[in-house]
């Protein structure tokens, strides 16, 4: 590690001012601190957000579940309201990393980093969530812009995410054994207006699949997935899995997510 300045503001206003002045926001630190140790990132000042109580916690707001940006993964996984209303989201949070990662990692940190194999982006997109920031509200479809890129502007922080309650949902992930990131993860959510399917781990960022959505809107069953062709031409291929293998995994994980939703 190297020398850097460190601040721990106790108000969101102070945190925003510190970040706007050039500080780098520190949420759970599960990516940032490892990147600093490897000199991949070298911020001169860290702004620790862990004391900001007003962007922590989980509550219901009319017909939506609202989760604060600094809420830890383990809190999402264990929360009774999440389990009752969006059990797939609780299951997703409970499968992130290991116990130590879940104890420190946060929802806001994960989506702001937007790792292409992270789990939470698929939940936000499939559930048609809204990201509430210190400046505005951003639809999940507009928030994730690609590899480690989001719609956040300099000095803008995530405050919370609002998740509409689906009629049914499921999340299935095929893990990379060492990192426990998703080789492919598929989140399926059924609403009265139709089915949304979001895929992580297979491309340069989370994406929806129109063919799967159309088939499952017509027939919400695992068998309906068999009729959908998964194009491997734009999927990732690397040392862990080829693009063709990921295409096959998308079909299998979608079927598992649907079965989970129906169960």
pLDDT tens profile 232-259: 999 999 999 999 999 999 999 999 999 9
Same domain for 160 and 173, yes or no, is: no
| Domain-located, residue 67 | yes
Residue 102 tokens, joined: 């879940």
What is the average pLDDT value for the chain, to the nearest integer?
95
Please choose, from the candidates 179, 195, 178, the residue with its C-alpha nearest in 3D space to the C-alpha of residue 187: 195
Give residue 183's domain range: 168-262
Number of domains in the chain: 2
Q: Are 207 and 121 in contact (CB under 8 A)?
A: no
What DSSP assignment string belongs to 71-140?
-BHHHHHH-HHHHHH-HHHHHHHHTSS-HHHHHH-BHHHHHHHT-TT-SHHHHHHHTT-EEEESS-EEEH
Question: Residue 166: left (phi > 0), alpha (psi -120 to 50), or beta?
Answer: beta
| Domain-located, residue 9 | no
Please choose, from the candidates 62, 59, 57, the residue with its C-alpha nearest in 3D space to the C-alpha of residue 72: 57
Alpha-carbon gap, residue 175 to 202, rounded angstroms: 12
Q: Are 162 and 129 in contact (CB under 8 A)?
A: yes
Evaluate if residue 80 carries a pLDDT over 70.
Answer: yes
**What's the predicted TM-score (pTM) here?**
0.95
Evaluate if residue 1 carries a pLDDT over 80.
Answer: no
Same domain for 141 and 97, yes or no, is: yes
Alpha-carbon gap, residue 175 to 203, rounded angstroms: 15
> 243-262 and 87-94 helices cross at what angle (nearest 10)?
130
| Domain-located, residue 29 | no
Same domain for 201 and 154, yes or no, is: no
**Which tens digit of pLDDT belongs to each residue from 175-221?**
988 888 899 999 999 999 999 999 999 999 999 999 999 999 999 99
Give the Å distances, CA to CA, from 129 to 31, 33, 59, 120.
23, 28, 15, 11
Same domain for 135 and 197, yes or no, is: no
């Amino acid at each position: 590690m190297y020398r850097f300045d460190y601040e721990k503001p106790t108000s969101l206003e102070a945190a925003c001012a510190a970040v706007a002045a050039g500080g780098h926001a520190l949420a759970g630190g599960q990516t940032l601190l490892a990147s600093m140790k490897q000199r991949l990132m070298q911020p001169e000042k860290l702004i620790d957000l862990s004391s900001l109580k007003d962007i922590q916690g989980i509550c219901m707001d009319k017909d939506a579940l609202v989760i604060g940006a600094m809420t830890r993964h383990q809190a999402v996984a264990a929360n009774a309201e999440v389990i009752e209303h969006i059990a797939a989201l609780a299951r997703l949070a409970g499968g992130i990393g290991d116990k130590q990662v879940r104890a420190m990692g946060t929802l806001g940190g994960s989506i702001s980093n937007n790792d292409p194999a992270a789990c939470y982006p698929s939940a936000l997109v499939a559930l048609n969530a809204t990201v509430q920031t210190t400046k505005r509200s951003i639809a999940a479809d507009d928030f994730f812009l690609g590899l480690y890129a989001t719609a956040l502007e300099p000095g803008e922080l995530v405050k919370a995410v609002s998740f509409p309650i689906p009629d049914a949902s499921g999340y299935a992930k095929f893990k990379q054994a060492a990192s426990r990131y998703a080789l492919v993860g598929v989140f399926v959510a059924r609403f009265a207006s139709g089915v949304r399917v979001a895929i992580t781990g297979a491309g340069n960022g989370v994406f929806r699949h129109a063919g799967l959505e159309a088939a499952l809107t017509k027939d919400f069953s695992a068998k309906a997935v068999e009729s959908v062709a998964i194009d491997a031409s734009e999927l990732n291929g690397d040392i862990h899995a080829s693009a063709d293998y990921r295409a096959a995994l998308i079909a299998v994980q979608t079927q598992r997510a649907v079965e989970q939703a129906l169960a």
